[in-house]
Copies of this chain bind each other. A is one copy, B any other.
């Protein structure tokens, strides 16, 4: 008896390369697939191959898409506002709020000297070009980057680069989360939320 067999071991090894999936979960998935019809597995593998080989990035906003033009110029959205985000999940998060109807610009990363990622490695140049050449004119650029050192660095760099254009630059509000308690908020967040206080009737 040779257990687990080679064929199963290879499958377990490949599955457990995925983030958050260990050997035990991988074994469970393998045994699940073995109990299903062959078509379950082939549908899964076809979808993954199709995804990896045929996915495109929109040439304007760099979001993942079926085509190189994600119709981000559609007239049903506000064409004068661009929201700059680090990566695709952020787009999904903002879309889920249903509070934003403008355009997006996915940087595909963030400036991080420690990881060797500079301004030219992410889609900043493309953002500048977009602001420069867009028709209708871009009125506002919202920086929706994570409130980390890297996020702030990137926001600072973009702001500097956009200074020469007549465009309003805003950033998402930082402060105490809805449902949060002052007592347990960290001092930086609390301090900033006092500094950037807003009128009560807003």
Contacts and interface: CB of A to CB of B under 8 A. Distances in A.
**What is the interface of chain A mostly: helix, strand, loop, or mixed?**
helix
Query: How many copies make up the complex?
Result: 2
A95 interface: yes
B66 A1 contact: no
B51 A42 contact: no
A1 B63 contact: yes
Contact of A49 (B42, B89, B103): B42
Chain A contact-residue range equals 35 or more
Nearest first, the 6 closest Cβ-Cβ pairs linking A and B are A45-B45, A41-B52, A11-B51, A14-B47, A5-B66, A14-B44
Interface of A: 1-8, 10-11, 13-15, 17-20, 25, 27-34, 38, 40-55, 61, 63-66, 70-72, 74, 77, 87-89, 91-92, 95, 103-104
